[in-house]
Structure formats: C-alpha cells, structure tokens
Structure 1
Amino acid sequence: IFFSKDTTMVLAELGSKITRALATMKNSTVLDEQVIDDMLKEIQRALLESDVNVRMVLSLRENVKKKISADDAGGYNKRKLVQQAVFSELKRLVDPGHKPYQPKRKQTNVIMFVGLQGAGKTTTVTKYALYYQKKGWKTGVVCADTFRAGAYDQLKQNATKAKLKFYGDYTETDPVLIAAGGVEHFKKEGCELIIVDTSGRHKQEASLLDEMEQVAKTIKPDDIVFVMDSSIGQAAQAQADAFQKKVEVGSVIMTKFDGHAKGGGALSAVAATGAPIIFLGTGEHFDDLEVFSAQSFVSRLLGFGDVEGLVDKIKSAGIDSQSDLYKRFTEGDFTLRDMYEHLQNVIKLGPMGKFMDMLPGLPQGMMKGKEKESTQHLKVFMTMMDSMTDFELDHGQVKKVMNPSRINRIARGSGRSVAEVNDLLKAYTKFEEMVKKVGKMRFKQMAKDPSAMMRGNQMAQLAKAIDPNVLKQMGGYGGLQNMMKQFSASGLDKML
C-alpha cells in the first residue's frame, strides 16, 4: 500500500505543518532526543496525510536521525543541523539525483510527450514549445495522437494561437507514420526543437502502450517527457511504473499545480520513474509553466521563499531594478506615472499569488483565490491613469492637483465611476506614503544589514507603512522582522 485513499491536503498545508513542527523544535528550551522524535513524528504524519509513499517517509525519518547522530553539535548549531537535515531529505524526495536532458542549440532535439488521458498533455506540449520559442528556439509540434477525437484540432488551434509550427495528418490513422513524417518534415525546416504529442493512455490499455513503444523506436527521441496530473493520488505509482516499463522516461512535467495539487502522488511518482521533474504546470494559460528546481520547491514549501525563481521571473519579465523608477523609489519620490510603470512591472511578473509565494518569510497561499481579482484591479487603475494628462501624471502633489473637475473628466474618459477614481487616488496616497517612509529609512542599506532595522524605530516605521491586513497575514511585527532577515540572507538585496 503506497497511498492513502483520501488525499485532500494541498502543498501549502503540508508546508505549514512541517514548518510548525520545525518551529516547535527550534523554540524548545532543551533539544533532546524526545523533542527531535516528536518533531519527526509530526513531519511523518504530515507527509503521510499528504499521500507520500510510506517507505519514502520512513526512509526520510531514518536518514534525518542518522545525520543528527553523526554530528555532536549542540544548542543553536544542533537546531540548525536538524533543519538542514529535514530540508535535505525533503529535497531528496523530489530529486532523483541526476540531471534531465538539456536541449542543445543549433542541432535537432526530438522530444516525445507521453502521459495519461486528461493529464493536460496536449496543452503542456504547447506550453513547452512556447517556452523555448520565446527564448529564440525554432520549434515545431507534431500531432501523433490518432486515438482521441479532437486531438488534431486542439493542438492545431493551440499552435496557431501560440504562433508555433504545426504538423499533422487528419486522414492518416497510423501514429508511427505521422510521428516519423513530422520529425522528418521539421528536420528539413531546420527546427532545433521537435515535440511529438502522442495518444493519452491508461496502464490497462496494452495496445496503446505498445503503440507508444513503436513510436519511440521509430523516431528515437532525445528525451521522453512523462506528463502527470499532480492530483491523481494513489494511481501515480502504478501508472508511472507502466510507462517506465515500455519506454525510457527521461523527464517529468507535473500539471495542475495551481492550488489543489496532491503533493504525495507527485513525489512518489518521480521516485518510481527515476526521472527528474523539469516543469510545473500552474494554470490554463500557455504562459503558466514554471521551471522546476528541487531546491526552490522545498524552500517554497517550507516558507523560505524561492529566491532563485524570483530572480529568474524578474529577469525574464525584463524588469530593470536599476532603472530610474526604482532609483526614485529609494529617494522617496513617487508620482502617478511612477505608479503606472510599477503596476506594469507587477503585471509582467504574472499572478500576484505566485509572486508573493516566492518572497522569503511570507506564508504560502497568502493571495490564494484573489489572483485574478487583484490583477484585474490593477488593470482598472491603469485604464483610469490612461485618461490623465501628463501634468497630472508627473505632478509631485497629486492631492492639490486632483480637484472634482479633473476627477469627473478622468472618470468619463476611462468609463469608470468617480468612486473608482477616488479609490485609485487613495491607493496612490498610501503607496506614496510608504515609498517616502522607505526612502527615508534608506531601504537599500537596511536590506544589506538587517541589524540596522532593529535599531531605533526603523522597523516600526516600516510596519506602519504596510497595510494592517497584509501585516497581519505576514504574522505581524515579528513576521515582518523574519521576512526582512530572510530577505537579506537570501541574497535578494543584491538585486537592489
């Protein structure tokens, strides 16, 4: 028996349970064997409830105890050692220990996608191709799925929307011939990345599994990517085994990781295939594909943030932290035009919840369920600012400038209400106050030296500048202190 029958715990809940167990251990007056045992039992229980393979859980417990007993550190150092041991073992659960295939530029890379029916394989093929195309790769997608009605139309429509090269044959019924023809076609066109989509299947469908094996033998892919629905729970182990027996799975992409994923099934399946996870599908849109890093995944799971992912996201969004906008921020200057540019950058980073989850020290799922609403709210603000004049956007004293006549004109021009324009101005005022306070506090220097925040009333000023509801979700004043410490320790300060 590898899996529990009822698995409803999401990753955020798993992370919070493990974090609480570690916090209880760290806060204990005396760190003896009983305290460590209690902590490990709590972590064990959390992992089992989250559907993690029983043998893997037992292995994690034994390995942590071995690492602790092998070191004679005491006090604070031992607490740190225990935390590091838990982190290391959790990372090992999702990292088989070898690197996935890396497509190479200026040569042909054939990638074959396999997976279960309903796992989101065809959409993931599009996401994967688009990810590389945006990086300048010449890509092509091949529809070799002749089993599912509508597969050809779906991939062709996706390819058209994403502006990808597409190959398929509506009348041919042999997927092996289509796959071979598509690979040959795109090789002649000089494509660097050729992605072959195959029929979705179940473990029991022997004929389809044999077909998959024949396709692999014919096109000889450089990598076989197994697309797995992260919420399938106890079926993951058997399904992964069935695929691995027929073809050599080289990489895994986990789909539906946007808030309701069952982490245990995903972890166990990766161990079963021995293949590393390369991406996480985090939504329905073609851009909702995140590069997977075991280090970042476990770090985010335990509330340590994902600095590596955050830095990559900022870079890929083309946001320059050294721009005039952010230099003005540090000087305490902030106009409506600055706010507009800042909102553009925030939207570039994608859903607010995912961005917030990457920040060290903030609780997971802080914005859960509010991502679309928050993004739409920002876009409404920008629409209203589009109806402002240069004089209004650049004036340093917005309160004095924005009289009823101007507010009415902006409301009419943007198709919004006067009340909404006033909401925008209130939000601007709060943001301006925070920027001025942070500017006076020399935020750059504080981020590089967290101890500077603890002196005088610097931290109190920062706390006052944050919305009370947000501060409460962060864990109050203590949570803010913890976040700033982790912010500095993570190296994010180097981006300022």
Structure 2
Amino acid sequence: MVLQDLGRRINAAVTDLTRSQNLDEKAFDSMVKEICNALLEADVNVKLVAGLRQSIRRSVNFKELAPGVNKKRVIQKAVFDELVKLVDPHAEPFKPRKGKPNIIMFVGLQGAGKTTTCTKLARWYQARGFKSCLVCADTFRAGAFDQLKQNATKARIPYFGSLTNTDPVAVAAEGVEKFKRERFEVIIVDTSGRHRQEDALFEEMVQIQQAVRPQQTVMVLDASIGQAAEAQSRAFKEAADFGAIIITKTDGAAAGGGAISAVAATHTPIVFIGSGEHLLDLERFDPRAFVGKLLGMGDMQGLMEHVQSLKLDQKDTMKHIASGVFTVRDLRDQLSNITKMGPLSKMAGMIPGLSNAMQGLDDADSAAKLRRMIAITDSMTDKELDSDGKLFVQEPTRMTRVARGSGTSVREVEELLTQQQTMATMAKRMKGGMANMQRAQGAMGGGNRQQQLAAMQKRMQSMGAGGGAGGGGGMPGMGGMPDMNSMMKMLGGGGGGGQGGPGGGGMPGMPNMDMASMMKMMGQMGGGGGGRGGRR
C-alpha cells in the first residue's frame, strides 16, 4: 500500500532509538537522518524534509532536557507532531449545509480517478443524510459519461449528462440548474482531466467554474504522481483556486510522498483518501489519525466511523449480549457483518499496533475462510442456530451432519463452536455492563468523549477483555481493546492461543466479530479519537 513502507521505516527508526540503552544525541541524529531518507525516497519534497529535520531537532534539545524527563516520550511526541504539521495546512475544509444547494466541482489530471471519486463522495454524503447527485461535464474523454452513469446507477445516485452536447460549460450549467430546482443538497460536477501545459483546457476549467459557481473546488491527485505533484497543484491552484485535495489510489505500490508535498505547496487541506476501487473505499482525512496509522498507532475513530457508516444490523445481537446470551445465530450475523467491512488488512491498519501483525496475510484467503465459516452456519437448523451451542456437545452427530452439508470438516465445525462458546462466556461477563454504560451515557449527556472512552476501556479491562493492543514498538496506542493481535493471527490461520479450538489453532477469522460489536458499543457511547489519545 502507498506509504506503508514509509510508515514502517519511520516506525522502525523511532522504535530502534527508544529501545536503545544509550539514548544520546548521536543516536537521535541517526534516527532523524533515517526518517528524512525514508521521506525523500517516498518523493516528499526535499525542502519540506529539510524543514522537518530542523523542526525535530529544535523540538528535542538534549542540553535543555531536565534530568528526570522521559527522553523517549519527548522524541516520540516530537516526531509525531512534526509529521502532523507536514500534512496539516491548518485550513478548514468546506462543510456543506443542509437544506441548501452545495456545489462541489472536481478538477485534476487525466487518469487520477476523478469520476470514480465523484461517485464515492456523493455516496459518502448520501449515507450521512444529504440529497446527493452527479453532473458529468467531461465531454472530452470517450466513455466518461457512460462510466459516471454506471457508477451512479450502482450507488443509486441521480446523475445528469449528455451524449450529444459537446460543450462542457453548457452541460455543467444545465445539470446544476436542474438539480437546484429539484432541491438537491450536494451537487458534484465532474470535469475533464487536464495538464498545466494545456492552456485551452485550463481556460475551459475556469469557464465551468464561473458558470456553476461552486462552493468547493476539489483537486484529485493520484498518489503515484511523485515529484510532479507540487508543480501541477500550484498551476491548478492559480487557475481554479481549489480549496481541498483528495488523494486517490493509495492502495497501489507507489511511494506516495508527492501528494503530501502538494498540501504544503498550496496550503490546502486533504479532505479524503481513496483506498480502493469499491464505492466504500473513501476515508475522511485527519492529519493526526493519518500519522497515527503511518506509525502503527491505528485510527480507532476512523474505524468506528466506518463501522457506523455501514449501518450494520446488530440490534438482536446487542439485546442478547445485554442479557448475557450469545447464540450461534448471533455468531453467523457477526460473520456476515465482517464481510461488509472491507479488506481485513485495511481494518487492521486502523487498529493500534496491528499494521505489522497483518504483514503476510492475504485478504483473499481470509475472505475464503470467512465464507467457509458462514457455510457451516448455513447448514444448521433454526433450533441449532438459536441454541447456545451445547446442543452439539450433547448430540455430536449434529456436527457430522453440518460438516457434510457445508463441505467442511468436523474439526472446523468444532472450532467454530469453540469460538461461539468463547463469545458466549464474554457475553455473560458483560451482562449488566451495557445497562450501566447506557445509564452513564445518559448521566453524562454525551459530554466529554475522552472520559466516556476511558470509562469504556476501564470496563473492558475489568471484564478481562483488554490486552492493550496498542503501541507496537513504543508507540502507545489505545489500551483496553480485545486482544487484536491474537485475533489477526487467527485470521492468518496461525495459532491464536488462548481462544483456540482443539490443538490451539483457533478458528480463522472468527474473533473479528467481537471488534464489530465492540465498535457498535463504542459508537453508542460516543467514544472519540482512540488512535490519537495514546500519544498525549
């Protein structure tokens, strides 16, 4: 993934330093040099890297540090804060208003992924209650309208375009006026890709902008643009004065640092990051959360937002957990929810300390294991699904029948039931805990989110669920979460330890269901920036 190698190198440099017995100025300089080399190799602008180097050195002055100060924490904080400054232009992005037309115009180079990103953004706003639509003003590229039409139809988003009118200015104006009359709240205008040396196309872009008068102009940047990012973004900024950047194709293998350079060059905020081809693969950008993921600290707030945006149906499961029950059907429902959450490697990147644990795991293999587990539950009767699983212990022939019906082995059925029993035990421990949390939430009136999250973590630890999955190499993440490292090991098919079935192998894929329900509970508690809290 883009920037994954960069994050690994920076994290390794900081970790090696903080684990060093002799933490002196020489070792510190060596770490700073390694971080800067990693940034340069990732195509981050050399002037930005030089500035970062000086800033980190100014932040950590060994001669002025008091004797009792924890040097490791000072260094970690300095690296984190300066990397945040690198991607944070301290400019507020546009926020659409409900009940009014908000026009967003997309610009950028050809092939950057504008059309797909337009649909992703329209769907993102639609999922948050905005009445969204799309206007195709790209009359230059063959098939542009067909692509937008196909994407919009798939996402069930209204669209406008023309196969006969070749004037992009007229098409854009007509589409915007049409959707204004129909009281749409977010009107996204897709335009042709163009290069800074194409004067005629740049003039056309300005004309479209004047015709539709957008409240927000967004530049779409391909993560693989490299050193050309700064010059291109400056040219677009001068012509169209865009107010936001969306970086696409961050799931590729490119260095990706060039796109970061564009932020500093134009003092424009990154608002979203495209992380795949699926319509759901659009993540809101937050500088602190981004750097947290880069350093293996995760992004719990982003994970919670993602889970909540999927609108997973967990009402019955949550009711059962509140009463201390977790049935086989609850297990099946949670497995189905996991398949909707996206690639497991992406999810792991949001969980503190797990990006390294996911190395070598194959999303396709993990997805196949999940499908086998769902097939096992699909071969059960209603009586078996609604049971606590002990029915299979009392009548072992049921396991043989289910294994044959699902095309799996008896051992796989046993392991799945073992995981269900583990979660049933946890549900019993949690009985009454959810009622207490709801009372606490009502008493606090949705007040201090950090206090709510701290209370939630404390509750999890008291139930024996928290292993402190945060940190990874001295980077404190969010403690008190379930043992995510062992969960991800199980997903990879390795020995899960502790929760495993016969032979200690554990059932691959299953434990992540706990994450889904925990995220739901955190959402109800209004928990805030978990991935960021550990750094302070």
TM-score interval for Structure 1 and Structure 2 normalised by the shorter chain: 0.7 to 0.9
Alignment match, 2:72: 79
- Does structure 1 residue 324 correspond to structure 2 residue 319? yes
When structure 1 is superposed on structure 2, of 22-31 and 140-149 the one drifting more is 22-31
Q: CA deviation at 1:244?
A: 1.3
Alignment match, 1:244: 237
Q: Is the 8 A contact 1:232 1:265 kept in 2?
A: yes
Q: CA deviation at 1:219?
A: 1.4
Match of 1:340 among 327, 332, 336: 332
Alignment match, 1:3: none
Match of 2:101 among 86, 101, 108: 108
Q: Is the 8 A contact 1:241 1:273 kept in 2?
A: yes
Alignment match, 2:421: 432
- Does structure 1 residue 417 correspond to structure 2 residue 407? yes
Q: CA deviation at 1:334?
A: 4.5
Q: CA deviation at 1:471?
A: 9.9
In structure 2, the CA distance between the partners of 1:472 and 1:428, relative to structure 1 (3 Å rule), is closer
> How far apart in 2 are the matches of 1:463 and 1:306?
14
> How far apart in 1 are the matches of 2:528 and 2:120?
34
Structure 1 counterpart SS, 2:60: helix
Match of 1:50 among 42, 62, 80: 42
In structure 2, the CA distance between the partners of 1:472 and 1:44, relative to structure 1 (3 Å rule), is farther
1:120-139 Cα distance to aligned partner (Å, 9 max, x none): 11011111111111222111
Q: How does 1:210-249 map to 2 (within 5 A)?
A: 210-249=203-242
Structure 1 counterpart SS, 2:17: helix
**One-letter code aligned to 2:461:** A
**One-letter code aligned to 2:300:** V
Structure 1 counterpart SS, 2:70: helix
In structure 2, the CA distance between the partners of 1:27 and 1:246, relative to structure 1 (3 Å rule), is same
When structure 1 is superposed on structure 2, of 100-109 and 312-321 the one drifting more is 312-321
Q: CA deviation at 1:82?
A: 1.4
In structure 2, the CA distance between the partners of 1:108 and 1:474, relative to structure 1 (3 Å rule), is farther
Q: CA deviation at 1:468?
A: 6.2
Alignment match, 1:351: 343
Q: Is the 8 A contact 1:116 1:228 kept in 2?
A: yes
- Does structure 1 residue 94 correspond to structure 2 residue 87? yes
In structure 2, the CA distance between the partners of 1:34 and 1:276, relative to structure 1 (3 Å rule), is same
- Does structure 1 residue 408 correspond to structure 2 residue 401? yes
> How far apart in 2 are the matches of 1:311 and 1:21?
30
Structure 1 counterpart SS, 2:225: coil
Unaligned runs of 5+ in 1: 1-8, 478-486
> How far apart in 1 are the matches of 2:73 and 2:136?
51
1:45-73 Cα distance to aligned partner (Å, 9 max, x none): 11112111111111111111112239634
**TM-score under structure 2 length normalisation:** 0.77
> How far apart in 1 are the matches of 2:485 and 2:156?
48
Unaligned runs of 5+ in 2: 434-456, 469-479, 499-521
Match of 2:26 among 31, 34, 43: 34
- Does structure 1 residue 304 correspond to structure 2 residue 318? no
Q: CA deviation at 1:30?
A: 3.5
Q: Is the 8 A contact 1:438 1:462 kept in 2?
A: no
Q: How does 1:60-459 map to 2 (within 5 A)?
A: 60-69=52-61, 72-74=65-67, 77-318=70-311, 323-327=318-322, 334-364=326-356, 366=358, 370-393=362-385, 394-401=387-394, 403-404=396-397, 407-408=400-401, 411-412=404-405, 416-419=406-409, 422-430=411-419, 432-433=421-422, 436=425, 445=459, 447=461
In structure 2, the CA distance between the partners of 1:465 and 1:202, relative to structure 1 (3 Å rule), is closer
Alignment match, 1:481: none
Match of 1:25 among 4, 8, 17: 17
Structure 1 counterpart SS, 2:71: helix
Structure 1 counterpart SS, 2:334: helix
Q: Is the 8 A contact 2:45 2:261 kept in 1?
A: yes
Q: CA deviation at 1:279?
A: 0.9
Q: CA deviation at 1:110?
A: 0.7
Structure 1 counterpart SS, 2:353: coil
1:380-424 Cα distance to aligned partner (Å, 9 max, x none): 422432331122121431542564466436744xxx4143x6524
When structure 1 is superposed on structure 2, of 32-41 and 70-79 the one drifting more is 70-79
1:280-320 Cα distance to aligned partner (Å, 9 max, x none): 11111111111111111100110111121122123323456
> How far apart in 2 are the matches of 1:462 and 1:32?
35
How many residues align? The count is: 464
> How far apart in 1 are the matches of 2:256 and 2:230?
13
**One-letter code aligned to 1:123:** T
Q: CA deviation at 1:100?
A: 0.7
In structure 2, the CA distance between the partners of 1:489 and 1:450, relative to structure 1 (3 Å rule), is farther
Alignment match, 1:482: none
> How far apart in 1 are the matches of 2:52 and 2:199?
35
